[in-house]
Amino acid sequence: MLRSTGDRVVIVGGGIAGALLAKTLQNHADVVLIDPKEYFEIPWANLRAKVDPAAVERTVIPHTDYLTHAKVVTASAVGIDDSVVLTSIGRAVAYDFLVIATGRTCTRPQKQSDRLEMFQRDKDRIDGAASVLVVGGGPIGVELAAEIVIKCPGKRVTVVHGGPRLLKVMGPRASAKALEWLRSKNVTVLLDQTVDLAGASPDGSDGTRSFTTSAGETVEADCHFVCTGRPVASGWLKGSFIEEHIDEEGHIKVDDHLRVGGLKNVFAVGDITDVPEAKQGHLAQRQAMVVSRNLRLLVKGGACKEEKLHRYKPCPKASITVTLGRRDALAELPFMTLIGHIPGAVKPRDLFISRTRRMMGLKSSRPYGNMPRAM
């Protein structure tokens, strides 16, 4: 058992929020990060990485590269009590403060090298395909379709979406603009339809085949990618002492300080929270910074007065930007919706990769093939 030290902060989940929180706290507390992966991944660069290997080199980062004064336990959390986190490798990690940042369910390989190989396989599949099926018309599906048609304009790309319009997280005007943009690039978009994926390979690598939609249409594709929403990763908390603070959709109920159910030493950040705002990476980072400041007060001052704790102000009308290849983007602002080069110029062509790396205390780029250090 990894025993607590009085200022032990255990962070469960090494995604965009958990990783930043661990980075900012490591010099102020005894930080332990529990994550099933050996690396942190910049999520909004994933789709570019499927078509551009150069992007991959900078977006999959070993935890040990930025956590120089923290411990990393490479395992999944499988349960908690009021003082200990139980892990999938049978190791118990005691905590004084707990932060839950497990986001959404997602299967990723443990090792960085295996994750890089996944991106390369996806690129090879796209390169070798004359036709690609994208299942799901949310931000991920729209951005992936855009990346493919801009990188390889000769490919036949079909997007099948179960809703009446694309990009449900945005308004109808943005949805219409996205549909018009995709169709202008010869992307076939089928709305209000689902796809029967029975028998299809989970990773979409089963070669050319025919897919049948719920409307009876047939889509021929050499490879496919599933870009539908994933459930919140809170199932491992079932039966725990915080189960009563989980809503019907699996989100954890937090207060203004991002504490779980008002508990003094348990926090949650990122997609797993019930904060009323869009689930976007930059907002998860804002949440992480509020919890970081609060934990520094609590660790330093012990019984910190309630009024000194920082409050998180949700952004229910935060701007949403969907990248459409290297040059274009779709931006929904509080006062207008824009598409094309102008919003594309606002969002850097490297998709904020350099800025994110600097936030993590890393150089903006790294040489190819620099693998993680042994743990």
Q: Where are the domains positioned within the chain? A: 8-36+75-106+230-308, 112-229+319-360
Pairing type for strands 60-62 and 71-74 reads unpaired
Confidence class for position 203, pLDDT limits 50, 70, 90: confident
Q: Over the range 119-131, which residues count as b (16 or more CB within 10 Å of their CB) and which as e?
A: beebbebbeebeb
Task: Tell me what pLDDT residue 131 has.
Answer: 96
The answer, yes or no, to whether residue 371 has pLDDT greater than 80, is no
Q: Which of 14-23, 43-52, 349-358 has the highest mean pLDDT?
A: 14-23
pLDDT score, position 303? 62
Displacement of CA 49 from its chain's centroid (Å): 14
pLDDT digit string, tens, across residues 115-126: 999 999 999 999
* 15 or 52, higher pLDDT: 15
**Which stretch, 55-59, 64-68, 227-231, 370-374, has highest mean pLDDT?**
64-68
Strand partners, 324: 328
Are domains 8-36+75-106+230-308 and 112-229+319-360 of this chain identical in fold? yes
Q: State the average pLDDT for the chain.
A: 91
CATH topology of domain 112-229+319-360: FAD/NAD(P)-binding domain (3.50.50)
In this prediction, residue 248 carries a pLDDT of: 96
- For residue 140, pLDDT beyond 80: yes
- Locate tokens 């070993």: which residue? 62
Other C-beta atoms within 10 Å of 53: how many?
13
Name the CATH superfamily for 8-36+75-106+230-308: FAD/NAD(P)-binding domain (3.50.50.60)
Residue 304 pLDDT level (bands cut at 50, 70, 90): low
